[in-house]
A and B are shown apart, each in its own frame.
Chain A
Amino acid sequence: MTVLCDIRNLSVTYHGDVDVKAVQDVNLTIRRGEIFGLAGESGCGKSTIVLALTRLLDRDGEISGGEILFDGQDLARLSDAGMRPLRWSKISLVTQSAMSSLNPVLTIGEQICDGMVAHGVTAREAWSRAGELLRLVEVDPGRLRSYPHELSGGMRQRVMIAMALALRPQLIVMDEPTTALDVVVQQQIIRKVKELQREFDFAVLFITHDMSLLLAIADRIAIMYAGEIVEVGVAAEIRDAPRHPYTKGLLQSFPSVFEKRELIGIPGSPPSMVSPPTGCRFAPRCPVRLDECASVAPPTVDVSPTHRAACHLLGEGGQGCV
């Protein structure tokens, strides 16, 4: 599988009374046609990565370093005008709450169509395609004339997914697409996404704080903590052999249907991003920290060709936190 999006040393800073570096030197690659999961606690910077990648940062947010190479272009350096043709046609977005991501005063049809029309599809063509898209996500095409408030939460999220597919993008960014839905609907949506992804072969960047969900859907997973990526690997490696103590903590903090085990949370809370700890940012909460963790930032170590983690325990042939 070839690389579709290569994020190199990405840093994002929010300017304010104090500047906050919400994302620090992040390296990620998303390959064509894969579902790439990004997990972490609230406030760890995963949504900021989404905003940087889709170039939707607010005025006070700035890509302060690094590159986002997408299909040969550096999105971090593109002007707004240069970015516009790529929007929706190459990268589309499904946001967290389908409640608020649809404009309440426009019909579903109008909202699916305007994105297509903005990219040169004729209105008539867009409308007929919108009907097909709804059929793809198993929503009655008659719903094109409905307003968002007339649909259930699950239907709205299906509509969002249909909308995101409209121009056959290469990458669909899904920022906690199922958080606001109940578990049954969540499962249906996830199954639908996988099915569509197999059919149309787009890549998905799937953001969530729900590890069990991510293990079910993602091909590869990155774990983020306090603005940094602490571990990346194939889903099975992350599930069966997590190397970073934080990943391990995350995996132990949700119940499993298959085995009976004790739920262990991670004590403490994430550090303030205004003044993150020197050394390893997880050190203050880490159950297995070493002396050097507080002062020296851990290097990123390749555990296998597809698996790397940033922890001092992995240094000099160590086994990490197994």
Chain B
Amino acid sequence: MRYLLRRAAFYAVALWAAVTLNFALPRMMPGNPMQVLVAKFRGRINPDALYAYAKLFGLDRHVSLWAQYWQYIGQLLHGNLGVSLGLYPETVSAALMQALPWTLFLLGLSTLISFILGTLLGMVSAWRRGSFLDAVAPTVFTLTGSFPYFWLALLLLYFFAFQLPWFPLGHAYGSSTSGWSFANLPDILYHAVLPALTIVVTSIGGWLLSMRNNMINTLSEEYVKVAKAKGLSDRRIMMTYAARNAILPNVTSFALSLGFILSGAILTEVVFSYPGLGYTLFQAVGNMDYPMMQGALLLIALAVLVANFIADLVYVKLDPRARQG
């Protein structure tokens, strides 16, 4: 419990640092969003309106940086991330909330599949060391893991959506359906196959190799020998004695990778025009949409922190030695 409290305090500080950085970064970047706005209206905007926008976006030059900072924090506490410059007059939080579920769905699902498959394959490869599976699986998935994932995405898109029209060319759902509902699920899954496949195929190798290596180490532990001497079933020795200990480092990296879900696959989302956070962030950068970038980065930072916290919780659950820490 004390361990968790200490962790929680650490996360509070980290969150504050993330928020502050997030406030400072756009203000340190070259270029001025107001100029972008002027360009957007092709100069036909009067100075009063411009000033009103500056106030709206929290970029009022007459307000000190310090005051802006507190204003920013105050707005954050109210869940107000400002108004998007690129998608004006939509608010940033509305735009992000629309994109978030798609990214969570696509990346969450594919990361989970990749983790489970990779860990299982790694476990069995190490258990049957020297077998056919052990010869093939690590080699193949290390190879696919070294592909750049956007390149693989383009390749899959070209062959399985363009040459062979098996899968859609992009987007998260077809024109007849929109949004989330149970009835739309087949269509949504259908659209997710290629982007998810890209992510799974390029990331599975890492899980497999680390699990295999950890497992080979734990298999040579004395307690595995004792477990065999006890006459336990192979299944119990493999799962409860070897894999249960080997999986600990993998669980940590899994939780950490969950944090990068929100930012992780910008290129995949761009290639497949998938309406997720990565795609939104990509567009925001193109539009110099500072409030949107800030919002997206904050969400990503938050996700990393939450994922870390989950990693701590799970680790404490899995490893009794961490409970005293």
Contacts and interface: CB of A to CB of B under 8 A. Distances in A.
Interface stretch (A101-109, A233-241, A271-279, A296-304): A101-109
Contact of B244 (A105, A118, A149): A105
B42 interface: no
Contacts of B236: 114, 118
Contacts of B227: 103
A85 to B, nearest CB: 7
B320 A105 contact: yes
Nearest to A86: B231
B245 A96 contact: no
Contacts of A89: 231
Contacts of B233: 118
B18 to A, nearest CB: 33
A151 to B, nearest CB: 12
Interface string A80-103: 000111111101110111001111
Contacts of B229: 54, 56, 87-88, 91-93
B48 interface: no
Interface in B198-251: 221-223, 225-233, 236, 240-241, 244-245
Contact of A95 (B222, B231, B240): B222
B230 A103 contact: no
A293 B240 CA distance: 52
Given A105-B318, A147-B321, A149-B320, A56 B225 contact: yes
Contacts of B232: 114-115, 118
Contacts of B244: 103, 105
Nearest to A149: B321
A191 interface: no
Given A114-B236, A118-B236, A104 B230 contact: no
Contacts of B321: 104, 147, 149
Interface residues of B, number: 23
Given A103-B241, A105-B244, A105-B320, A115 B231 contact: yes
A104 B320 contact: yes
Contacts of A100: 221-223
B320 A103 contact: no
Contact of A104 (B129, B130, B228, B319): B319
A188 B204 CA distance: 51
A95 B319 contact: no
B231 A105 contact: no
A126 to B, nearest CB: 12
A115 B233 CA distance: 10
Which residue, A59, A84, A89, has most C-beta atoms of chain B within 10 A?
A: A84
A101 B222 contact: yes
A96 B229 CA distance: 14
Contacts of B318: 105
Nearest to A95: B222
B226 A95 contact: yes
Interface residues of A, number: 30
Contact of A88 (B129, B221, B230): B230
Which residue, B129, B229, B236, has most C-beta atoms of chain A within 10 A?
A: B229
A97 B222 contact: yes
Contacts of A103: 223, 227, 240-241, 244-245
A170 B245 CA distance: 32
Contacts of B225: 56, 93, 95, 101
Contacts of A85: 231
Contacts of B320: 104-105, 147, 149
Which residue, B129, B232, B244, has most C-beta atoms of chain A within 10 A?
A: B232
Contacts of A114: 230, 232, 236, 240
A166 B195 CA distance: 54
Nearest to B229: A93
B203 to A, nearest CB: 26
Contacts of B245: 103-105
A7 to B, nearest CB: 18
A310 to B, nearest CB: 31
A15 interface: no
A96 B231 contact: no
Contacts of B319: 104-105
Contacts of B230: 87-88, 92, 114-115, 118
A100 B230 CA distance: 16
A54 B232 CA distance: 14
A51 B258 CA distance: 43
Interface string A112-140: 00110011000000000000000000000
Contacts of A91: 229
Interface string B302-321: 00000000000000001111
B278 to A, nearest CB: 37
B79 to A, nearest CB: 41
Contacts of A102: 223, 226
A87 B229 CA distance: 6
B246 to A, nearest CB: 11
Contacts of B221: 100
A313 to B, nearest CB: 40
Interface string A145-163: 0010100000000001000
25 contacts: A59-B129, A83-B231, A87-B230, A87-B231, A88-B229, A88-B231, A89-B231, A92-B230, A95-B226, A96-B222, A100-B221, A100-B223, A101-B222, A101-B223, A101-B226, A102-B223, A103-B241, A104-B319, A104-B320, A105-B244, A105-B319, A114-B230, A114-B240, A115-B230, A119-B231
What are the 8 closest A-B residue pairs judged by CB atoms, nearest first? Answer: A87-B231, A115-B230, A147-B320, A100-B222, A101-B222, A93-B229, A103-B223, A88-B230
Given A59-B129, A87-B230, A160-B226, 4 more contacts: A87-B228, A91-B229, A97-B222, A114-B232
Interface of A: 54, 56, 59, 83-89, 91-93, 95-97, 100-106, 114-115, 118-119, 147, 149, 160
